[in-house]
Every structure is written in structure tokens, then in C-alpha cells.
Structure 1
Amino acid sequence: MIIVRKVGAPGNPELAVAAIVDGNPPDIVLNREIVEAYALDDDELRVLIAKERPELERRRLVYQGERAPLSITGKTAIIVDDGVATGTTMKVAIRALKRRSPREVVVAIPVAPPDILAELAQEAD
């Protein structure tokens, strides 16, 4: 299991400027297009990311507790989300899982813009 936390844009928390994947250290992936659109500098990004890290850790403890992460090497990994807007968070999750050598990564989402679905189809198996 991986936990991914969206880092929302100022004033628009559902629009991902970045995403954080749990780990030591956590992986952080920026949505450059949104970062540029909001003209966010490195300091502003650090503040936004730092604000989300405690929630990421809280969720990791709730879902995983103190158990060691399970290995997905050679297994099918399924990522589920209730909906996708920009695709940033999902792309980060796919890339993070692929670094753990699964047999395949399957994405399950009920709703997303067609162009984002096409992008995700290229990322997932």
C-alpha cells in the first residue's frame, strides 16, 4: 500500500500543484503547469508541501500502523481513486508503484476528463 497526498493550489485545494508519496524520504512530484500558472516559487511550494505532510503521516499510521510495507514485487497493484481532475496525484501513485516492480499496475477510477484518461492509460498497464 502507498499513501499519496495531493498538495492543492492556493485558494483551490482540489487542483493539484504537487503530490507527496509516503516513504523515507517521501517522493514529491510537481505539476509544473499548475505551479507556473500560479507563479509559485520554491518557498511557497515548501510551505504548501509542509502543510500536507502531517496528514500523509496520519493516514499512513491509520491504514498501515506500525506494520512493515508489503512487497508488491511481481504482483498486480490496483490503484483506486474516487475521481480524477488533473491526474497529477494518480500519475505520482502509478510512478511510485512502478518503482516497486509490480507485475502490472491497474487504475480504477469512475470519472475523469477524457484527455487525462488518455494520459493515465499511457502510464498504467
Structure 2
Amino acid sequence: MKIQKFKMNESGLNRFFGPLEAKIMDILWSGEERTIKDVQLELEKEKATNFNTVMTVMNRLVEKGLLQKRAEGRTTMFKPVLTREEFINTQSKEMTHELMDEFGSVVVSHMIDALDDADDDLVAQLEQKIKELKKER
């Protein structure tokens, strides 16, 4: 699944989702399958949220391929298609490939510049990855 909009001026999950979508995904990533009512009750701890609104957003997340639903008797259960880590990995990988395709060496240069702020473990991982790529060529 490809997220169509990446919001530079947001942070965390809000970069990929609308505010309510982000909260719903966060709730569903934190545990077991849940019903719409379960999610609504969790959301109400912060702010009153209409059941129909939650239902609409969750069904849209199903349509986008982010959630899956299954019937359990008369109840519909929802869960994420990917874990949070898988989602972030997939989206960041896709975004990186798109940036490389469109802007090439400029992106690489900026990524290298960003390493000034990176911790030593991340730099070591990058060095290892570069060594592996060189061996494969």
C-alpha cells in the first residue's frame, strides 16, 4: 500500500495519516483485534468521538489496505495489515526510492550531511551496508 500524501510539516504518524486515522492506527497497533466500539471508547478517553465517524474512518482504512476486518458472529473485528514497524519500513523505503529516482545524487548528499547528527551505531550500520553492496557488485 502506498500512502499518497506525506506531510512535511507534521510529525510521527500524522505525516502519513489524518489526525483521527493516526489515533486509530496507534490504538490498533497497540494490541489485539478490536471492534469499532472498542476503538471509539479508547478515543473517548481524550475527546468525545462519534461512533459513526470512527466507523467511517476505519472502513476507509480498510479500503486503503491498511486495516483488515473479519466477521465474528455479529461483530466485526479490525486489525492492521502490517505492524507499525513494517508500515514505517515500507513507507520510508518507498519514499527513499522515489527521492532517489527523482533527485539522485542531491538526495544522497543530503543524507550523508544528515549523518553529522546520527549516532555512531547508525553510521556503523551504514558502513556495513555499503560494504555489503560493494561485495554484491
What TM-score does the superposition give when structure 1 sets the normalisation length? 0.26
Bigger Cα Rg: 2
Higher relative contact order (CA 8 A, sep 6+): 1
Which one has the bigger helix percentage? 2
Which one has the bigger strand percentage? 1
